[in-house]
Chain A
């Protein structure tokens, strides 16, 4: 079973700050997911990445497969970025199954 650890668990920052959320996993994978859960509870898939870096607007995700580590960055953070950010890896390391999730990082961006 893949163990997924996220840090920090809680993060409060001021508007405009650069945000970094970290994720490490125990079993080698082919791809890792970053998800965003808004206060209303809905989940949005932000990124799926298998190598290098992906960018979408102010969000950047990086992954180092050898080190089993990924980071999610938010540039010029804004209060609307306040949400829970969750990283997820394949349940048992890459087979035809679901995801195992980190506990999430609760991010609050204060104006």
Chain B
């Protein structure tokens, strides 16, 4: 049973381009969480998704950022028109369908986005 898979591991984009970060949850997991770690800062929650639903996006910047978790395929975190301040490590975590509690944290290795 493979762990949470994120790709790419490293992504370089020029200012103004789009960045697409992918997260494949663990087999059988239907909950996905995205977190961002800015340089020299702690991890911060961005968005919580279930299949085809955004449950909580209170940590997402209001513009340029979007996330989806389709019925088939990985979850995608999309950043449009990237700026240098978007440079960070983006982590995805998944959990099984457990009702109302985040019971286990299975993290991906992260995608390191560098905007040049």
A interface vs B, CB < 8 Å? 30-31, 33, 35, 41-45, 48, 86, 88, 90-91, 94-104
Contacts and interface: CB of A to CB of B under 8 A. Distances in A.
Contacts, number: 72
A98 B33 CA distance: 6
Given A97-B55, A98-B35, A48 B44 contact: no
Interface of B: 31, 33, 35, 41-45, 48, 55-56, 59, 89, 91, 93, 99-107, 109-110, 112
B103 A31 contact: yes
B100 A101 contact: no
B54 to A, nearest CB: 12
B106 A45 contact: yes
Given A41-B89, A44-B107, A101-B42, 7 more contacts: A41-B110, A88-B105, A98-B56, A99-B35, A99-B43, A100-B44, A103-B41
